[in-house]
Structure 1
Amino acid sequence: MANVAADPTDLYWTGESFDDVLSGVDVVINTFNTGVILEVGEQLNAAIARANPKVYFLSDLGVDYRLNEFDGYEHTEWQRKRVITADTKAALEGTQTKVIQLVTGMFHGWLLIPDLGIDIEKNVYTSLGPASNRIATTAEDDIGRSIAQLAVLSLDPATASTVPTNLRIAGENVSYEEIRDAVSRVKGVPKGELKSKSLEEFNNNLKVDTTANALQYIWVLVGQGKTDFSNENANELVNPGQSLWKWKTVEDYLRGSGSG
């Protein structure tokens, strides 16, 4: 049976040494935020290199920032992630460790908020560009299941080669129109108003707004069509034909079944 250090964040807060806790593990799943990784990343990478696990999952869940085109004004969170990913891969080069960068789209729990133009309380749905643009989103527990399945596949010599080092999953690729319709069905209210703002104007404002949060950048990515994973994802690899579990949808989440 594989030994898994599933949450290195515990190591940080307990004060235990990375070497002690990582000793003998086969799989490491990093759930540190970027601020912590910048603080302890060098120490952590050195310990992982010494432990030499078979699989290491980067803390890279979320949108696919590799597609970003915010030249000169990219949010600092993604700038940090680029540095962390490069440093980690360099530190583990030459070891047996397979470094996996898994992109999951939005978490269901972070999707339905006004910062992305989704205001359920007011029943108003505002897109940058067409309301038909889709957002990849995955329930948090489905992310956990996917990581577990990828770990199993990566540890099995018969299937290890089928797991790429960079991959994307999406429990659902959903549009503003579809979110609006799901809210209507779940809450029993009339279909809400669909509104649209200028993508170009909003994006230009980000270039000078140093207070903008990452979600506002993601709103732009949605408008640019860069958050739709419909045509490129590893869903069938981790959960072929939904034979292992049923992907939770945004409507499931709204009905209260999205968190467990």
Structure 2
Amino acid sequence: MSSSSINVVVAGGTGHLGKLISKTLLSPVYRPGQINRVVVLSRDDSSSVAQELKALGAEIHTGPVQADTLKGIDVVINAWGFMVPGDIKNALVRAAVDAGVKVYFPSEFGVDPRTLDVEAKIFASKVEQTDYAREVGKGALKVVEIYNGGFLGQIAQYAPAVGIDIPNKTVTSVGQGSATARVTFTSERDIAYSTVRFAILAAQDPSSVADKVCISGTNASWSHLAELLSKEVGTKFEVKELDDAPLRKKIEEGDFIAALRYAYGKGHVDLTTGQTSNELVNPGQELWKWETVEEYVKKTNGLSPA
């Protein structure tokens, strides 16, 4: 083990994104040279994912999280989703501070809710959790927010909900001029790779990583997506734009998908307009190649099951 290798905890490390982060930490690329211990917080240590991670070398922890649980840990990555109560996330932060953890990644990812021009209650808990971590950490705990735009791997999963109608060959965006608005998407694999790189860099030198970082795996407007789908399936997709007023109401009522569609159409998820940290975590794409929307459309056979 290298003297510079670090110990990492992944809360929700068996979940959708968490398991990819856990596997990356446990991969020969980083372990044992740069990563020493990997502790996964999970509700069920008997699950197939937990057992798989354990076989790869992870320590699975299912009990309450206290300072003793995080003793000797350098980085805590929170990959818990919306369903985990705020008091549990707050307890994780307090334990991290008491244990002397160096770096904490709150469960942000996705869209930065502070950029929206409409109140999105569904994102309010994310903001509160991050603010709480900084308040309790008092500067001793480095808090790093990661934003990656949309999840590339969920376009097919949520295609109808976000306005992609495969049977009727239409792509519908929200807002005037929204069809040409660029949207940043990052694959879950690339988010995991980037999170691990941020963790290593921030643990070694907190000043090397900003408090808020953005990564941009690929970019596409709904018009471009329609072109890609048309080419892949051999049938032209029509592009439509909807009035955003109905979605604003749904957003205020806490509709997550409505908030995403609004953010996409309004250009709030175009991370190319600001400085990204792509080169910091993956200089010159020497460590991996970012997955593109073109590759994703082909892989999913035009967003359809194989």
TM-score by length of 1: 0.86
Query: How far off its partner does 1:39 sit?
Result: 3.3
Letter in 1 for 2:152: H
Query: How far off its partner does 1:6 sit?
Result: 2.5
SS in structure 1 opposite 2:219?
strand
Identity value in percent: 32
**Correspondence for 1:224:** 266
Letter in 1 for 2:10: A
Unaligned regions of 5+ residues in structure 2, if any? 14-39, 44-61
Matched, 1:195 2:225: no
SS in structure 2 opposite 1:230?
helix
**Correspondence for 1:7:** 11
SS in structure 2 opposite 1:255?
helix
Query: How far off its partner does 1:203 sit?
Result: 4.3
**Correspondence for 2:123:** 78
Aligned counterparts of 1:86 and 1:35: Cα–Cα separation in 2: 19
Query: How far off its partner does 1:16 sit?
Result: 4.7
SS in structure 2 opposite 1:114?
coil
Matched, 1:63 2:111: yes
Matched, 1:90 2:132: no
Structure 1 residues 204 and 51, CA, compared in 2 at 3 Å: closer, same or farther?
closer
Matched, 1:102 2:102: no
Matched, 1:38 2:86: yes
Query: How far off its partner does 1:58 sit?
Result: 0.9
Indicate conservation of the 8 Å contact 2:149/2:183, yes or no: yes
Aligned counterparts of 2:259 and 2:65: Cα–Cα separation in 1: 37
Q: Between 212-221 and 137-146, report the one with greater CA deviation.
A: 212-221
**Correspondence for 1:132:** 180
Indicate conservation of the 8 Å contact 1:183/1:251, yes or no: no
Letter in 2 for 1:170: S
Query: How far off its partner does 1:12 sit?
Result: 5.2
Indicate conservation of the 8 Å contact 2:11/2:79, yes or no: yes
Aligned counterparts of 2:172 and 2:90: Cα–Cα separation in 1: 42
Aligned counterparts of 1:204 and 1:213: Cα–Cα separation in 2: 9
Aligned counterparts of 1:20 and 1:8: Cα–Cα separation in 2: 18
TM-score by length of 2: 0.74
**Correspondence for 1:27:** 75
Query: How far off its partner does 1:3 sit?
Result: 0.9
Query: How far off its partner does 1:119 sit?
Result: 2.1
Q: Which string of whole-angstrom CA distances, capped at 9 and with x for unpartnered residues, describes residues 155-199 of structure 1?
A: 334xx4231010111111211111112223333x22201111123
Corresponding residue pairs, total: 248
Q: For 1:108-123, what aligned pairs fall within 5 Å after superposition? A: 108-112=152-156, 113-123=159-169
